[in-house]
Structure 1
Amino acid sequence: MNLSRKWLTEFVDIHVSDKEYCDAMTLSGSKVEGVSIPGGEIKNVVVGTVLSMERHPDSDHMFTCSIDAGTGAPIQIVTGAQNVEVGDCVPVAMDDSWLPGGVHITAGKLRGVESCGMLCSLKELGLTTHDYPYAIEDGIFILSDDPDLLRDGLAPGADVVPLLGLDDSVVEFEITPNRPDCLSVIGLARETAATFGAPLKLHTPKVRGTEGETVADILDVEIEDPDLCPRYTARMVRNVKIAPSPEWMRRRLRSSGVRPINNIVDITNYVMLEYGQPMHAFDFSCVEGGKIIVRTAREGEVIQTLDGADRSLTTNMLCICDEHRPVGVAGVMGGANSEIMGDTAMVVFESANFNGVSIRRTATALGMRTDASARYEKGLDPMNTYKGVQRACELVELLGCGEVVDGVIDVIAADQNPRTVKLEPAKINALLGTDISEHEMRAMLERLDFKLEGDTITVPSWRSDVEHYSDIAEEVARLHGYDKIPVTLMRGETTQGGFSDKQKSERQTGALLRGMGYSEIITYSFISPSYYDKIRLPADSALRRSVTILNPLGEDTSVMRTTALPSMLETLARNYSYRNKSARLYEIATVYHPVDGQDLAEERPMLSLGAYGGDADFFALKGVVEAVLAAMNVRNVRFESRSGIPAFHPGRCARVTAGGVELGVLGQLHPLTAQNYSMDCDVFAAQLDFLALLEQRAGEARYEPLPRFPSVTRDIAVVCGDDVTVAALVDCIGRGARGLLKEVELFDIYTGAPIPAGRKSVAFNLTLRAEDRSLTAAEADEDVKSVLALLESELGAVLR
């Protein structure tokens, strides 16, 4: 919304700079986007009177003019314009002057004759014939042709910027959808008066009308769907005289970004800008049957709108019709069949209120967004239609462009009872964290035209956004000043912020993985059902039972993932297709498992790892998983060979457990899975249940002092069957020791002669130590004997 500060002074007097005004309005809730001065680029352009004209001695179309520009002595200017005569008052760009667009004018010579400036056209001043209809578009702007300018006085040397009203400050406001009342000069004047504590000067339109026939004798109005048209107000004007609007009205329209057209059309636009009430004027002679019917369009109806385009209407579009056809699309644009023309004699002024949702849908469907539809779609005040039509008729009489027919047609279906809200100062202060007195609150609300009786607030009809005490609190806060509200912690016991234990663990794990060369990715939680086929998930797998999205963006994003593996592999495959030689990625991804009998799914975070290229292999990935588990202080971790997972290689996959609880799986992808992702290299991945990791932590790490007594080491090599895992051997060694064993480290696995076929040699380094004494060799040997005995009895592993 563009607001002319000159226009604003008609309703409220404030004497502050543009910056002070904009800062105050923004702080009170009316956000200012910027300020512009229409003539801000025009410098040193003045009124000049043509004293004499002579033909240029070296040109057949140029003139040498003597100009009185208020400098004491006449100046000489050469011009090629053919519409200038002696006695004309014209805009003169003096030596060292500036015009819009950064045009710099200096004195010089034209074909040998000195010229001390330039006579200006409309275009050179940034104006058009819509601003000054009498002017010649491609000629010099003759100021003295405008009676309004003559009346104001055209003294030579006067600055043309204030003379043409180009010294106005135009403030651009960003109006939020909940404040359609501010899409008007009066609405912003109310905000200005409330912000600065100044009195608001509102004018009640007065219409004299004419005696005799009334509008009800000429026109009838019928509303078929009151829900779509809560109010329809109309008046009529006869003996219309179509002509340009006066200069003051054209200036105000121009400042607001609206092009002047003619007096009748300009009046409707003027009222829309002043009151925020869109209006439409149409030729009554085009209304067949003398009746206006507000109804939805019938199947197959077509209307040619004022822009000359044929619009096909649908049965849910609200139209303004006569007895046979539409004459306008309600709230959007009028029809060409009822356009105001030069010979129009009788005009109907329509000031109506329409359902905002209906107007928005119609405008969107037709691809038409007009100033009227932009206002209607936000929901306007139905009580404003009468004021709007009265103001329009008042302007008709003021401009002398017609005779207003007596009477008003006003069909009302809207609820006229005002909304009320209870004033609750204590709750408002508690919500805002302030200590504003009730007296101050009342004064603020009264400045906004809220009526108070006791603790009951009557909300103005134009404030449809105020329904609750919290809305009242917002009004109090913005007038009190957001900058004056102290910054405090929330009241209550839980005011101290911070990360939860889970959040801390996620961040620590992420930092650890990044330190090991992994990059974090963030993928969508919704995937395509076909992703399950790419990881070779069986048709009867429980993981295929996904939560389906009701309004998906498409088939590729139609279900919530139950496993994070497809998302990781899609990202790895994309990197591979971009010819990245290697990639190491991680994500703490959420998966969603449906719960029987519940609307919401169970959400669980998963730690997803993926790698290919470089030194990526099974044991490198296993080392990364071990580092994560160690950092989280997860104890009793076991890695067990796992087959039967279709996505993974049957011989290179392991299940990860801790304390008998399964944490996840890691391994190399099955070649067929990698092929589904167009990757012809070895790909490794791990999927760990992050909540399970948190649950298996052994608590906070505790400090243990360095041992006071030395340790004793023993190396043992045992021969066992090929099917015996190292994990089983390590577990057996731990149980066989008698409390002195501190560490077991594998350092060799050997097969071949002289080891029999089907068997292998596995060697370990054992570290033994007592906390209260130095071990003797005999004590260490006893522990080793106990370990060897258990290995042989349980696993058939014998000392080599």
Structure 2
Amino acid sequence: MFVSYKWLSEYVDLDISPEGLAEKITKSGIEVENVQAVNEGIKDVVVGQVLEKEQHPNAEKLSKCLVDIGEGEPVQIICGAQNVEKGQKVPVAKVGAVLPGNFKIKRAKLRGEESNGMICSLQELGIEGKLVPKEFSDGIFVFPSDAEVGKNAIEQLFMDDYVLELGLTPNRSDCLSMIGVAYEVAAILKKEVRKPEVHYEAAEEKATDYITVNVEAKEDNPFYVAKIIKNVKIAPSPLWMQMRLIKAGIRPHNNVVDITNYCLLEYGQPLHAFDYDRFGSKEILVRRAHDGETIVTLDDQERKLTSDHLVITNGKVPVALAGVMGGADSEVRDDTTTVLLEAAYFKGSVVRKASKDFGLRSEASLRFEKGVDPNRVKAAAERAAQLIAKYASGTVLEGEAEFHDFSIEKKVITISAEEINNVLGTNIAVDEIKEIFDRLQFETVEENGLFTVTVPTRRGDIAIEEDLIEEVARLYGYDYIPSTLPEGSSTSGALTDYQLKRRKVRRFLEGAGLYQAITYSLTSKEKAGQFTLETSSFTQLALPMSEERSVLRLSLLPHLLESVKYNKARQIDDIHLYEIGSVFISDDALEKPLEKERLSGVMTGHYVYHPWQGEKTKVDFYVVKGILDGLFDLLGLLDEIEYKQAKREGLHPGRTADIYLNGSFIGFVGELNPEVEKEYDLDETYVFELKLADLIQYEAKPVIYTPIPRFPSITRDIALVVDQHVHAGELQETIREAGGKLLKEISIFDVYEGERLGAGKKSIAFSLRYYDPERTLTDEEAAKAHEKVIKAVEEKFSAVLRS
């Protein structure tokens, strides 16, 4: 809701700045999202009069104008607008003026002719193009003839104002009107509300002689009012009204339509004006539409209706979609002389249905959906009739045709001061609570601390005792409610062991250069089965938004790859992402899927890139494996981890490993299959996925302190020639077992394959370190342990020492 500060001041005395008012409104429970000065960034724009206009001698589309700006001698201004004419009064930015965007006006020459200023359009003065009246949308703005030359054009345009943008929650529909906001502000500032005075001279003719109202759908439309205004002259509405609409985000059209929109903003009650002569009958019939029935709405679109939609008809055919949009055949046009004015109370759910079905979200439908005040329906119609009589020269016929089939009952709630104070933890006096209800203009009777409150119909959000307690709290001031600690026994809060370890995992990965991603839990059937760690049937949604979001995921990787593809398409080449999230494992015997937490990652591009130092390291299998090893070491599990070469669908057959924790499968790491990389338009990309819960819940071996060796060690290097199918890890494990307690460290430092070794052979070189922590190891002891190692690999793998 956009609220004009100056318009609001007509209903409430505002002895506070716009910023101060915004702060008070926010503290009372309605957030003011923005306070905008309408004339921000504008200086030295005045009303000028075009005295002469002639064609620019050197430019077909430019005009040379002589303009009086109220400073003695007229000035010459070159103007490119097609609608500029002699005699017009226009906004002129003088030399030295500033327009929005810090656009400064200077003396200039355009095609050889001097220009001393600029004749402005409304867009150039900062008004959004879609809000500018159609007659000025492609050219300069023209003031009414009574505008005074030389006066401040911004003031004449009523732009010396502030607009407060209220972020209303759905329950506060009462503030979708200027009068509703006035009640709220008056309660905050302890002021009175001045409502518009409505009076006009009615004709002797009766409205009921021209129109009757019948309603079939009584539940959908329990109250309908129709007024007739004759002798209407369609013209632009007053400038002040147009600018109030523009500041509220509504585009002006003509006086009658603008008045209905003005009353909508003022009262919060949507109205609609029909051309009576085009209406087609003397009867208004409100009913549900027939299936297959059609209507052409004001946007010239033909809409096919169903029995879910409420329509206004002339007894035969629909002329309006109730609460949403009128029909094109009966709209008010330039030749309209008699107006049929509608004000009605429509059920919110039926308006919502039509609005959603046809994609027609309007200011009117918004208010009906959230609820309008039934006591303002007729009042808004009377106000609109008054304004049409005044600004469209209309003659209002006596009375109105109406249908009324519901009783307007105000809610009555009883609550005690003791209960209010108990809930709020305050000690507010009875008189102060009574004063708060009076400021809200709630009819209140107090007896011995017990309040009987009659809630006005404009506050549809007040229904139970707790609602009244909230009203007292927000107007008393949340800042004045004392803060207290809870009483009773309690325990200090702390992270569980699982949460603590999960946080360590996140910090480690982010420290290693990976960024956290959060992706959708819903995916498509095609992607759901990719990169899974265990077999599972799909968990499908009963009513999915789309096929792309119809199945619960079984792996985090498909959507992570989509994220990499998205960034790659935007020229981000070095991408390192991880995600911790749930997958949903389903067993046909279970009613609900099991939710299991996974850790996944994707890395591509450079891992280290410092062009100045000439340092470049591309992501490869060992970079990713090294990060995982660091993670396992952090969790105290590295000694329990084993990598085994594996083949998995979607991954490179020679660069993929399954990961085991103490013999149990927990995940995989590897490069994407080149075909998958091509499908996602990626370069060399590495991925991993782990069963995070299994990692975190595994009970790691306790850390045992080992003193730094005081005695020298003995190192032996061996190169073993084995068959190509033998895995280095198997060799390393055999060496570790054979070396006994003296063998402390084993590392691989070379792998060689070549013609000199023979077909089907490879050489793997290990460095072995022997030492005894209690004494100096002798060469004989080291040689004896080393011989056991050589014998073990010869017997198990037929390994031969490479000479």
- Could you tell me the TM-score, scaled by structure 2's length? 0.70
The answer to whether residue 463 in structure 2 is matched with residue 460 in structure 1 is no
Please list the CA deviations of residues 744-776 of structure 1 after superposition, one character each: whole Å capped at 9, or x if unmatched: 425699999999x99999977364535xx5477
Structure 1 pair 606–44 and aligned structure 2 pair: CA distance change class (3 A)? closer
CA contact (8 A) 1:720 1:795 kept: no
Q: CA deviation at 1:294?
A: 1.0
Q: Who is 2:744 aligned against? A: 743
**2: CA distance, partners of 1:177 / 1:209:** 40
**2: CA distance, partners of 1:466 / 1:525:** 39
Q: What is the letter of the counterpart of residue 746 of structure 2?
A: E
The aligned runs of 1:266-665 (5 Å cut-off) are 266-306=258-298, 313-340=305-332, 347-363=339-355, 366=358, 368-395=360-387, 401-406=394-399, 409-413=402-406, 416-418=409-411, 420=413, 440=432, 443-452=435-444, 454=450, 457-467=453-463, 475-476=471-472, 478-481=474-477, 501-502=497-498, 504-506=500-502, 508-509=504-505, 512=508, 524-531=520-527, 543-552=535-544, 554-564=546-556, 566=558, 586-588=578-580, 590-595=582-587, 596-608=589-601, 622-634=625-637, 636-639=639-642, 641=644, 654-665=657-668
Q: CA deviation at 1:690?
A: 1.9
Query: Alignment partner for residue 187 of structure 1, among 164, 167, 180?
Result: 180
Please list the CA deviations of residues 228-257 of structure 1 after superposition, one character each: whole Å capped at 9, or x if unmatched: 324322334466677777787677667656
Q: Secondary structure of 1:229's partner?
A: coil
Q: Who is 1:58 aligned against? A: none
**2: CA distance, partners of 1:720 / 1:47:** 98
**Deviation larger for 611-620 or 2-11:** 611-620
Structure having the higher Rg: 1
Q: Secondary structure of 1:191's partner?
A: helix
**1: CA distance, partners of 2:232 / 2:433:** 50
Query: Alignment partner for residue 694 of structure 1, among 696, 701, 707?
Result: 696
Structure 1 pair 517–166 and aligned structure 2 pair: CA distance change class (3 A)? closer
Q: Secondary structure of 2:535's partner?
A: helix
Q: Who is 1:11 aligned against? A: 11
Q: Secondary structure of 1:543's partner?
A: coil
CA contact (8 A) 1:746 1:765 kept: yes
**2: CA distance, partners of 1:611 / 1:125:** 50
Query: Alignment partner for residue 189 of structure 2, among 180, 186, 196?
Result: 196
Query: Alignment partner for residue 765 of structure 1, among 761, 765, 768?
Result: 768
Please list the CA deviations of residues 81-119 of structure 1 after superposition, one character each: whole Å capped at 9, or x if unmatched: 9987xxxx989989979698889799x9xxx9xx99999
**Deviation larger for 782-791 or 8-17:** 782-791
Q: Secondary structure of 1:548's partner?
A: coil
Q: Secondary structure of 2:220's partner?
A: coil
CA contact (8 A) 1:242 1:342 kept: yes
**Deviation larger for 163-172 or 784-793:** 784-793
Q: CA deviation at 1:526?
A: 3.9
Structure 1 pair 423–774 and aligned structure 2 pair: CA distance change class (3 A)? farther
Q: CA deviation at 1:582?
A: 8.9
Please list the CA deviations of residues 195-228 of structure 1 after superposition, one character each: whole Å capped at 9, or x if unmatched: 21212233574677567x7655654322222343
Q: What is the letter of the counterpart of residue 21 of structure 2?
A: Y
Q: CA deviation at 1:183?
A: 2.8
The answer to whether residue 228 in structure 2 is matched with residue 228 in structure 1 is no
Q: What is the letter of the counterpart of residue 629 of structure 1?
A: F
Q: CA deviation at 1:481?
A: 4.9
The aligned runs of 1:783-794 (5 Å cut-off) are 784=785
**Deviation larger for 449-458 or 778-787:** 778-787
**Deviation larger for 605-614 or 351-360:** 605-614
Please list the CA deviations of residues 45-70 of structure 1 after superposition, one character each: whole Å capped at 9, or x if unmatched: 5899x9xx9xxxxxxxx9999x997x
**2: CA distance, partners of 1:711 / 1:332:** 90
**1: CA distance, partners of 2:698 / 2:626:** 19
**1: CA distance, partners of 2:157 / 2:604:** 70
**2: CA distance, partners of 1:177 / 1:370:** 18
Structure 1 pair 379–788 and aligned structure 2 pair: CA distance change class (3 A)? same
Give the CA RMSD over aligned residues.
Answer: 6.3
Q: What is the letter of the counterpart of residue 689 of structure 1?
A: K
**1: CA distance, partners of 2:440 / 2:791:** 89
**2: CA distance, partners of 1:254 / 1:598:** 56
Q: Secondary structure of 2:631's partner?
A: helix
CA contact (8 A) 1:332 1:373 kept: yes
Q: CA deviation at 1:125?
A: 11
% of aligned pairs identical? 29
Q: CA deviation at 1:714?
A: 8.0
CA contact (8 A) 1:93 1:105 kept: no
Q: Secondary structure of 1:13's partner?
A: coil
Q: CA deviation at 1:193?
A: 0.8
Q: Secondary structure of 2:554's partner?
A: coil
Q: CA deviation at 1:175?
A: 4.7
Q: Who is 1:57 aligned against? A: none
**1: CA distance, partners of 2:97 / 2:719:** 99
Q: Who is 2:610 aligned against? A: none
Please list the CA deviations of residues 345-401 of structure 1 after superposition, one character each: whole Å capped at 9, or x if unmatched: 754331112234443453455565544334334432333212222333455677773
**2: CA distance, partners of 1:551 / 1:409:** 43
CA contact (8 A) 1:64 1:76 kept: no
**Deviation larger for 435-444 or 331-340:** 435-444
CA contact (8 A) 1:234 1:350 kept: yes
CA contact (8 A) 1:423 1:469 kept: no
CA contact (8 A) 1:175 1:183 kept: no
Q: Secondary structure of 1:31's partner?
A: strand
**Deviation larger for 406-415 or 711-720:** 711-720
CA contact (8 A) 2:5 2:164 kept: no
Please list the CA deviations of residues 623-653 of structure 1 after superposition, one character each: whole Å capped at 9, or x if unmatched: 5443332221116425264657556677776
Please list the CA deviations of residues 460-518 of structure 1 after superposition, one character each: whole Å capped at 9, or x if unmatched: 32233445666556545544556667889999988977766545544544555566676
The aligned runs of 1:123-134 (5 Å cut-off) are none
Alignment: residue pair count: 750
CA contact (8 A) 2:221 2:345 kept: yes
**2: CA distance, partners of 1:512 / 1:329:** 60
Please list the CA deviations of residues 267-306 of structure 1 after superposition, one character each: whole Å capped at 9, or x if unmatched: 4334223211111233445555532111233345444545
- Could you tell me the TM-score, scaled by structure 1's length? 0.71
Q: What is the letter of the counterpart of residue 626 of structure 1?
A: D
**1: CA distance, partners of 2:568 / 2:257:** 64
Q: Secondary structure of 2:213's partner?
A: strand
Q: Which runs of 5+ in 2 are unaligned?
A: 53-63, 78-83, 607-616
CA contact (8 A) 1:285 1:346 kept: yes
**1: CA distance, partners of 2:341 / 2:763:** 102
Q: What is the letter of the counterpart of residue 324 of structure 2?
A: V
Q: CA deviation at 1:339?
A: 4.2
**Deviation larger for 338-347 or 442-451:** 338-347
